[in-house]
Each structure stands twice: as C-alpha cells, then as structure tokens.
C-alpha cells in the first residue's frame, strides 16, 4: 500500500488502502481486476490520478460517496475500481461541466417538479457548492468528515439526500445526490476512453459488448449468450479475454 501526498498531489492506493481506507480516513481509489467470472485476487497495480477540478476535501467526499453508490463486491467492480471519480473530475473540465448544454438563464420559477431542472447551477457549481455544504453539515452532526463515517452511516446520509430530507444550501441535497448518482453511473458504464469503466469491468459484469457494433451473425441465434468480450472505442479495446 502506498498513500502519497494529499496536498493536491497524486493519491496512490493499493488494494489494502481500499480495504482500510474508510476506517483510516484515507482516500480510496483502488484498482481491482475483474474478469467476467467475478472477483479475482486484486492485481495490486498502482493507480495514480491527480484530480484537476476537485480539492482534496471534495475528492475525499466524492470518493467515499460513490464507493457507497456502487460498492465493490463479488458481483463486479465498485465505482472506485471503475475509476468513477477520475471520470467525474475529467467531465468537469469538459464543456458539459461548465454547463454548455443547459439553458441557465434567469429567472427561476416555482413550478411543478414534473417540468424538470429549475436551477441556474452548472454541473461544476453543483459540486463546488454542494460538496462543501455537505462537508459542513456532516462535521456539524458527527464531528468528523463524511469519508470517515462507516458504510452504514454514509448510506443513511445518502438515503436522506435522495429523499431531500437533509437540508443543504444553496445546492439542495436532493440535487447534489442526483448529480453524483447520474455522473457515477455514467462513469461506471461509459466507454473507458472517458476515464471510468476501468478495463471495461462494468461491461464485463453485465455482459455488454461495448463497441462491437456488428451482430449480423448473432441477431437470430435466439436465446444464445453472446460469446465475445467487450471492446472499447479507445486504446483499452484490446483488453479482456473471452
């Protein structure tokens, strides 16, 4: 295990860091290798990613949050092994992160929830204003930061955020929850070129063939399992066996 600099430096974790991470309050971003059969012995390779957008505190909160949204278990990789935090950090530096897609002109109207997103925040705003608010709320309630809480406590808080019963301002907890969950699933399932879905682990778990994009010979093999492992559109395309 090695955990290096925390002052904006790279955080390098091995498998044990991951396992002890929460208890020790360490940043967790571990790497496992999951062939399609399930969990194998962790490949104790090192993984270094230096967040560009998130501060150290935000990064710790984010890591320990997505770790609960998609936990590691025998079924397949967790969000951390899939490098979801790296995906989210990278997304925040794309036009999307800056809100390039959304209509963000005022004024805000009080409307039915059915009319969808009615805020002026960009994705970056949601994280930059939401994560510190979550941090303060948790410090106040528990006297320690989110990432030092045990899994059950984190799940309880996440559950409250999902319902909106945890009060946060200016970014409501439900909005912060929704944004993290959405980006977390994106990072888990998107093509690895975007930084998540490490080694296509999530695709292998569910049996998605990725960018194969030619099923002429399989469309009428009724009921038969598709035999080929996934491919990525990028450099990871060669990884993974049948």
Partner 1 sequence: MVSRNEKHTDVVIVGFGWVGAIMARELTQAGLNVVALERGPRRDTWPEGAYPSSIDELTHNTRHALFLQPSQSTVTVRHRDSDVAAPYRQLAAFLPGTGVGGAGLHWSGCHWRISPVELRLRSHYEERYGKDFIPQDMTIQDWGVSYEELEPHFAFAESVFGTSGQAYKVNGKIVGDGNPFDADRSTPFPLPAMKNTYSAELYSKAAAECGYHPFRIPSANASQAYTNPYGCQMGACTFCGFCSGYACYNYSKASPNVNILPALERESRFELRVECDVLKVETDSSGKKATGVIYRTSKGEEVRQTADIVILASFAYNNPYLLLLSGIGQPYDPKTGEGTVGRNFVYQNESGVTLFFGQDKFTNPFIGAGGNGVAIDDFNADNFDHGPLGFVGGAPIWVNQAGSKPISSATVPKGTPQWGAHWKKAVKDSFQHTISIHAHGTNMAFRDCYLSLDPTYSDTAGRPLLRITFNWHDNDVKMIRYVTDRMADIGRAMKPESMSVETKEFGEEFDLRHYQTTHIAGGAIMGTSPKDSVVNRYLQHWDVSNLFVIGSSAFPQGIGYNPTGIVAALAYWSAKAIRERYLKSPGPMVQA
Residues at the interface with partner 1 (CB under 8 A):
68-71, 73, 75-76, 96, 99-105, 107, 109, 111-119, 155, 158, 162, 181, 184-186, 189-191, 193-194, 202-203, 205-211, 213-216, 218-220, 222-226, 233
Q: Decide if 138 contacts 149 (C-beta within 8 A).
A: yes
Residue 177 has φ and ψ, to the nearest 5°, of -55, -50
For partner 1, give the closer residue by CB, 51 or 123.
123
For partner 1, give the closer residue by CB, 1 or 205.
205
Q: What is the DSSP string of 86-142?
A: HHHHHHTTSTTTTTSSS--PSPP----GGG-------HHHHHHHHHHHHHHHHHHHH
Which tokens in the block code for residue 126?
Answer: 């949601």
Q: Work out how close the CB of 120 gets to partner 1 at its nearest, in angstroms, rounded to a whole number.
A: 9
Q: Work out how close the CB of 5 gets to partner 1 at its nearest, in angstroms, rounded to a whole number.
A: 31
Looking up tokens 């930084």, which residue turns up?
Answer: 195
For partner 1, give the closer residue by CB, 7 or 112.
112
Q: Work out how close the CB of 174 gets to partner 1 at its nearest, in angstroms, rounded to a whole number.
A: 12
**How many other CB atoms are there within 10 angstroms of residue 231's CB atom?**
19
For partner 1, give the closer residue by CB, 3 or 205.
205
């Amino acid at each position: 295990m090695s955990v290096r600099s925390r002052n904006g430096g790279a955080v390098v974790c091995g498998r044990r860091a991951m396992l002890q991470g929460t208890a020790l309050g360490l940043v967790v971003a571990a790497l496992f290798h999951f062939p399609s059969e399930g969990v194998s012995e962790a490949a104790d390779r090192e993984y270094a990613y230096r967040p560009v957008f998130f501060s150290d505190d935000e990064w710790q909160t984010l890591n320990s949050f997505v770790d609960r949204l998609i936990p590691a278990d025998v079924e397949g990789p967790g969000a951390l092994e899939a490098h979801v935090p790296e995906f989210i950090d990278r997304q925040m530096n794309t036009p999307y992160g800056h809100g390039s897609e959304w209509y963000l002109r005022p004024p805000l109207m009080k409307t039915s929830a059915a009319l969808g997103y009615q805020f002026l925040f960009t994705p970056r705003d949601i994280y930059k204003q939401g994560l510190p608010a979550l941090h303060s709320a948790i410090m106040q309630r528990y006297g320690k930061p989110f990432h030092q809480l045990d899994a059950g406590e984190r799940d309880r808080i996440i559950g409250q955020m999902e319902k909106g019963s945890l009060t946060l301002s200016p970014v409501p907890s439900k909005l912060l929850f929704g944004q993290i969950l959405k980006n977390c699933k994106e990072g888990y399932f998107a093509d690895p070129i975007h930084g998540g879905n490490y080694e296509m682990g999530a695709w292998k778990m569910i049996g998605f063939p990725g960018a194969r994009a030619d099923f002429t010979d399989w469309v009428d093999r009724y009921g038969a399992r598709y035999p080929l492992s996934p491919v990525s559109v990028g450099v990871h395309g060669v990884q993974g066996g049948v």
